[in-house]
Amino acid sequence: MPLRALIFDFDGLIVDTESADYQAWLAIYEKHSAHLSLARWNEGIGSYDTFDPYAHLAEQLGRPIDREAIRAEHRARLDGLLADAAPLPGVREWIADARQLGLRLGIASSSPHRWVEPFLAQLGLREPFQVICCNDDVPRTKPDPALYRLALQRLDVRADEAAALEDSPHGVRAAKAAGLYCIAVPNPMTRTLDLDGADLRILSLADLALNEFIARFEAPIQAQPLQG
């Protein structure tokens, strides 16, 4: 089946916001003499509903917290850490090659539009994507497949005509539940997590040219997953 579309995750796949997000929260927890383990943080990577850092902090402190004040502090810290952020290796090349080949491009992100779209504009990557689906658009985020099903619908392609690019277990499960071929491209925060559900795993998009992937995708018999 010819490949007609690519659907990208955003956080941790296009740009490594995951490391910065954890560092911002870690600083806030340490300021309150609380602890945020990497294992607990990893429970929420790739989703929006599975881990609440505000509730976890309040639980450790044993009292209510000022969510709005902490939200503002977290955003200020995160913006500082990501001020000079750049796309991860290979991302620009895959997007450029996809456009040259006439593939449709979409995003399926568990983050809200108010985060994803300005960041894409900051990176100079908003225009290539015909479709951007975020947590504002669906009742449930990853690992639920709703985001991917919506992206497929808006791109007007079938699941077997598209491939998803993901960095987290929640994202991989969502993509596979929607019937897509899934490429796992872990970032520093997700390299130790279980991504075995993906059809293909690579260390970086810079390690595989899009035309090479297309040949693999369109082969009559899919090769076994490549572990990176």
Answer yes or no: 21 catalytic: no
C-alpha separations of 200 from 225, 227, 228 in Å: 4, 7, 9
Q: Catalytic one among 9, 144, 167, 199?
A: 9
Rounded Cα distance between 115 and 20, Å, is 14
Q: Catalytic one among 11, 16, 167, 199?
A: 11
Rounded Cα distance between 141 and 148, Å, is 10
Q: What string of H, E and C letters represents the secondary structure of 81-125?
A: HCCCCCCCCCHHHHHHHHHHCCCEEEEECCCCHHHHHHHHHHHCC
**Edge-to-edge strands of the sheet including 104-108?**
131-133, 104-108, 5-8, 162-166, 181-184, 200-201
Answer yes or no: 160 catalytic: no
Give catalytic residues, as residue numbers.
Answer: 9, 11
